[in-house]
Structure 1
Amino acid sequence: MNNAATPGPLLAARDLVKAHGRTPALRGASLDLRAGEILAVTGASGSGKSTLLHCMAGIVRPDRGSVTYGGQRLDRLPEKRLSELRRTDFGVVFQFGQLIPELTALDNVALPLLLAGTPRSRARERAGEWLERFGARGQEELRPGEMSGGQAQRTALARALVTGPKVVFADEPTGALDSLAGEQVMTALAHTARESGTAVLLITHDARTAAYADREASLHDGTVVTEDTVLEVTP
């Protein structure tokens, strides 16, 4: 288990309520993410996992409740400040990667650095280093349509981590992959996160993926029903 310790949670959700139209997604969900840990959030389809991640990442605002990060109420921050945090402190990985199809793997990974003002030559250099770290050396000039699912997801992970974020939000990162590619992606993510001290909020329905986490929280009908289960961490 990762034993990184902090005086309190790095990111905390309290009593979150969120509906999509008339359909409730969260019904008072509360969750803490500690610095340097990998936390798996599990539950059946429709239990509110992705909505919880989106609220905690500042992508959507809850109808009620609070999300606190580093002493700031994310749910009260203006969109400009939230965008800044997603460029600097947060990295996000979705199930299908959501890479920009017109850009090569190298330029997809370099994009967050370029948006943050890093000179192009340095951004591309760092992007290449991160692709190599995720076992994607040799695919720098491939565009998303030319990549396998595993290649695309490793590129997405490199893009999420290239800025050195404090938190990575991974929403079903292995959901579109076969078992071998999924293991490769999760091994790379877990190793890199622990090496860099990055916290990971991992949304998954797959027990094998959840087994890479330090803790597990289970959602049922929009509420966290179990938490702090210690898992056997895969080496």
Structure 2
Amino acid sequence: MDTAMLRDDMVAGLEHESKAVVESERVSAAMRTVPRHEFVDDAAAYADHTLEHAGTRVLAPSTAARLVEALAPESGDRVLVVGAGVGYTAAICAAIAGEHNVHAVDISRRLVIDARRNLARAGYDGVLVDRRDGTHGLAEYAPFDRILVEAAAVRPPRALEDQLAADGRLVLPVGTHDQSLVAVEGGTTERFGPVSFAPLLVEGEQSDTVERNRTHREDRERAERTAQRRTGWEHDWIDWE
């Protein structure tokens, strides 16, 4: 299987006027370079549809292209991707900005491990991927020239806004049921049409959260206290006559 040819065909389809989601030479070149089959199942790697992996949605190539086009990263930009997923979008950013300039976080430990492995196999092991609550960003590596959030929020998290460089650009889906892809830069907001993303999770909401060890004990003790609690007819201060 000639994966380079498959990538060329995929990007050509995304550039075609029927979709027209790849518009810049930078994004076109990056998507033709990044081996998407290292991030998803080989058979479906270059088809333009979403996939499922470890309880999360793997973005279709057209959606990934829309995000990166809205982000507009340039060579040398410091980039933060919130919601690393399988690592594909971070790889596209790395192909543009340079892998050591790209950082990614995800709230799911399993996805962090998978993204690291996928990026290394694809040749972008210089991308830093860490397990974090994305609403807190990655303050120790701030400021960032570009921040991309791959999950929806009602408004941009304050921590992410604070971690933007003075002329930085923040891109995220905004809204609940009706969402729009929005870019915030220099106090102005630019919209890039409707999208549909899962909500941005905070610590404790992720599917692989470790259950507290005492939860079952608490439930048992609460049930025992309830069973031993006096009912109305057992209280001697009630005059039932």
Normalising by structure 2, what TM-score? 0.31
Structure number with higher strand proportion: 1
The structure with the larger Rg is 2
Higher RCO (CA 8 Å, separation ≥ 6 residues):
1
